[in-house]
Amino acid sequence: MSHSLTSTVAASATRTPALEIRGLGKSFPIGGLFSRESVRALHGVDLTINRGEIVALVGESGSGKSTLARCVARLEKPTCGAILIDGVDILKRDRFQASRAFRSQLQMVFQDPFGSLNPAHRIEHFLRRSLAIHGKGGGSAEETVQRLEELMTTVGLQADMLNSYPHELSGGQRQRVAIARALAVEPQVILADEPTSMLDVSVRIGVLNLMRKLRDEQGISMLYITHDLASARYVADRTAVMFAGELVEEGESLDLLSRPAHPYTQLLVSAVPDPARAGSYDPVRRAELRQAVMASTTCAFDGDANQACSADEPVRHQVGDPENRHWVRCHLYRPWAGAAGHALAGDPTQPSRPASNAQEEASA
The interface mask with another protein, positions 332-361, x = CB under 8 A, is -----------------xx--xx-xx-xxx
Residues numbered 23 to 82 that lie near another protein (CB under 8 A) are 60-61
Question: CB of 166: closest distance to another protein in angstroms?
Answer: 9
How many CB atoms are located within 10 Å of the residue 142 CB?
9
Question: CB of 287: closest distance to another protein in angstroms?
Answer: 11
What is d(CA 93, CA 88) in angstroms, rounded to the nearest whole number?
Answer: 8
Q: Which stretch binds another protein (CB under 8 A): 74-82, 226-234, 311-319, 334-342?
A: 226-234
State which of residues 21, 42, 123, 229 lies at the interface with another protein (CB under 8 A).
229
State which of residues 231, 239, 296, 318 lies at the interface with another protein (CB under 8 A).
231
Q: What is the DSSP string of 215-244?
A: HHHH--EEEEEES-HHHHHHH-SEEEEEET
Q: Which stretch binds another protein (CB under 8 A): 17-25, 171-179, 298-306, 333-341?
A: 171-179
Spacing of C-alpha 229 from chain mean position = 12
Query: Judging by DSSP bridges, how do beta strands 327-329 and 246-252 pair with one another?
Result: antiparallel
User: Residue 292 in contact with residue 217, Cβ under 8 Å?
Assistant: no
Nearer to another protein, 42 or 56 (CB): 56
User: Residue 287 in contact with residue 352, Cβ under 8 Å?
Assistant: yes
Dihedral sign computed on CA atoms, order 25, 326, 322, 306 = positive
153 binds another protein (CB under 8 A): no
Nearer to another protein, 164 or 291 (CB): 164
Number of residues that bind another protein (CB under 8 A): 57
State which of residues 8, 218, 310, 363 lies at the interface with another protein (CB under 8 A).
363
Question: CB of 133: closest distance to another protein in angstroms?
Answer: 28
State which of residues 19, 192, 257, 345 lies at the interface with another protein (CB under 8 A).
257
Residues numbered 265 to 294 that lie near another protein (CB under 8 A) are 267-279, 281, 283
How many CB atoms are located within 10 Å of the residue 59 CB?
25
Amino acid at 237: D
What is d(CA 21, CA 66) in angstroms, rounded to the nearest whole number?
Answer: 15
The residue among 199, 200, 264 whose CA lies nearest residue 229 is 264
Burial class of residue 172, CB neighbours in 10 A (0-12, 13-18, 19+): buried
The interface mask with another protein, positions 185-204, x = CB under 8 A, is ---------------xxxxx
Residues that bind another protein (CB under 8 A): 60-61, 156, 161, 164, 167-170, 172-173, 176, 200-206, 208-209, 227, 229-231, 233-234, 254, 257-258, 267-279, 281, 283, 349-350, 353-354, 356-357, 359-364
